[in-house]
Structure 1
Amino acid sequence: MAKSQETFNKKEKEKKRLKKKQDKEQKREERKSTSSKGKSLEEMYAYVDENGDLTFTPPDPKKRIVIKQEDIEIGVSKQEAPDPADLIRKGIITFFNESKGYGFIKDQESQESIFVHVNSFEEELGENDKVTFETEKGQKGLNAVRVKKQK
């Protein structure tokens, strides 16, 4: 008599395959039983209560808040354009390297150092000169532009 061709490994693989098939069938049956296809439209509604939470019960009509369409504002509120006189700052050139063409201006109001490049000068300037300037946002912070000697 010949030996059976079914080994232990084959039996285990067959058991796993059957178990997987049964699990899949069971999950399919669960999905069918909990499916919302047979429910009415009212049973599928979800409501938002006064706190913003989802519920399955309709909200109380007494707690309803009426909002007029004109009161809804979409977007960012418009800001007034700044006065050009407010943009002009005063300061002193604390450091300037003429060979490299850059330096720093110390703002009189905020006492912060602001980078300045020689291309921003409107006239010949050097260290310790009192100046008026405007600022622009640069890659690494504020840059002084339109730098003039203070009158």
Structure 2
Amino acid sequence: MGRSQETFSKKEKEKARQKKRKDKEQKKEDRKANPSRGTDLDTMMAYVDENGNLTSTPPDPSRKKAIDLDDIVIGVSRQEDMAEVAPREGIVSSYTESKGYGFIRDLKSQQTVFFHKNGLIDPVSLQDKVSFQIEATPKGPSAIEVRKLA
């Protein structure tokens, strides 16, 4: 006689399928017996408290704060608004006249700022003390209106 074609793993898989089918039938009967649809709106409502957390209780009207709509700012302030208006002072740390650009070391912040010969008002040379303003460019800050100080 031949061996049975049913192996242990086949039996286990069939048991798992039967159990899954039974569970599915049980869930179907539970849904029919206890319908979750038709619940009232109050049980489904969620509120936000003063800290921004979701809660099931409505907010207390006595804790309500009045907010002026003009005080609400949406977006980020423009780059021109954030730029410094006062001229800065610095020393020309490097300048290549043939290429037409150089760098200024700011005296206050010790920051190195790029400048181009188109931003010069007075001709400058290495180690000159200058005053300048900073302009935001796509490649970073750049010095403009560079004037040689006496």
SS at match of 1:86: coil
Deviations 1:2-36 (A, max 9, x none): 65443333222211211222334445566667764
Q: Partner of 1:128 in structure 2?
A: 127
Identity of aligned residues (%): 47
Deviates more, 1:124-133 or 1:108-117: 108-117
In 2, distance between residues paired with 1:50 and 1:39?
Answer: 27
Residue 50 and residue 126 in structure 1: after superposition, are their counterparts in 2 closer, same or farther (change >3 A)?
Answer: closer
Residue 48 and residue 12 in structure 1: after superposition, are their counterparts in 2 closer, same or farther (change >3 A)?
Answer: same
Deviations 1:68-114 (A, max 9, x none): 665662426989x87x9934222221222345543321223434332
SS at match of 2:66: coil
TM-score (norm 2): 0.65
Residue 41 and residue 68 in structure 1: after superposition, are their counterparts in 2 closer, same or farther (change >3 A)?
Answer: same
Deviates more, 1:20-29 or 1:121-130: 20-29
User: RMSD in angstroms over aligned alpha carbons?
Assistant: 3.9
Gaps of 5+ in 2: none
Kept in 2: contact 1:36–1:44 (CA 8 A)? no
Q: Partner of 2:17 in structure 1?
A: 17
Map 1:55-74; keep pairs closer than 5 Å.
55-61=55-61, 63-65=62-64, 67=66, 70=69, 73-74=72-73
Q: Cα distance, 1:124 vs. partner?
A: 3.1
Kept in 1: contact 2:84–2:134 (CA 8 A)? no
Deviations 1:31-80 (A, max 9, x none): 6677641322233223344444433344445x34252665662426989x
Size of the aligned set, in residue pairs, is 148
Map 1:1-151; keep pairs closer than 5 Å.
4-27=4-27, 36-61=36-61, 63-65=62-64, 67=66, 70=69, 73-75=72-74, 86-138=85-137, 141-150=140-149
Residue 32 and residue 11 in structure 1: after superposition, are their counterparts in 2 closer, same or farther (change >3 A)?
Answer: same
